[in-house]
Amino acid sequence: MNTIKKFIDEHKHFLYLLILVPLLICFSLCQRFLKPQYIMHCGLDDYIPFLKIFILAYIFWFIYMAIGFVYFGLKSRSDFLNLVKFIFLGMGISYVIYFILPSGQNLRPVLKQNDILTQMVGAIYYIDPPTNVCPSIHVINSIGVNAVVINSSLFKNNKKIKVLSTIAMILICLSTMFIKQHSLLDVIAGIGLSTIIYVFIYTIPRIRKEREVVAKTKEV
């Protein structure tokens, strides 16, 4: 019992995940009540093939996210909080964009085959309607997890993990287009928003820290 109490006391930061509840409720409301006014499509979308094998990368996103939250939640409170800020900022800002600019897409093909991969794609199509797509939450969140991995001191000398995480992130982003869940425009918007969030969470604090070090050095 004491062990459980100690664990809870040392990992209270997991409670920040409760913020997911209102965010998911907000997304559900957007999906239910917002009708697309802007159809996301560009010429390059027509050249991107439908590749059902990428449903595996698309679904792996859920595992990738879970691993990120659990691992950093257990190993590094600061990294966990950076992940929480990145993901929740990305989702929150995206929902505001959905409300102001309701978007949708009509890229999905008619699924004629009945193999397991096609069935998995069909399940995603059924669960997640092609509305509120720009920017892509899949893209933002996968970039968020990878950003923590790349910047975490836990993997400072572990290039293998960084490379594997980056590959996973890239495959997830590509999967959104190859299973026709998102337009290239949604992916670009997701990357753009992620870049802005990255600057505020990592770049600016790093610059400030470097300046403080330089200032202290000069004082000595």
Q: Which domain holds residue 121?
A: 48-98+114-213
Asked if residues 102 and 129 have their Cβ atoms less than 8 Å apart, the reply is: no
User: Residue 169 falls within a domain, yes or no?
Assistant: yes
Reported as a pLDDT band with limits 50, 70 and 90, residue 220 is: low
Count of domains in the chain? 1
Q: How does pLDDT run across 47-106, given as a tens digit for each residue?
A: 999 999 999 999 999 999 999 999 999 999 999 999 999 999 999 999 999 999 999 999
d(CA 90, CA 106): 24
User: What integer pLDDT is reported at residue 174 of this predicted model?
Assistant: 97
Over residues 117-163, the pLDDT tens digits come to 999 999 999 998 899 999 999 999 999 999 999 999 999 889 999 99
In a domain, 66, yes or no: yes
Is 37 part of a structural domain of the chain? no
Instruction: Look up the pTM and report it.
Output: 0.91
Residue type, 23: L
Is residue 109 domain-resident? no
Task: Please indicate, yes or no, if residue 149 is contained in any of the structural domains.
Answer: yes
69 and 80 in contact (C-beta within 8 Å)?
yes
Residue 4 placed within a domain? no
Residue among 154, 1, 128, 155 nearest 55 (CA): 128
Q: Does residue 202 belong to any structural domain of this protein?
A: yes
In a domain, 21, yes or no: no
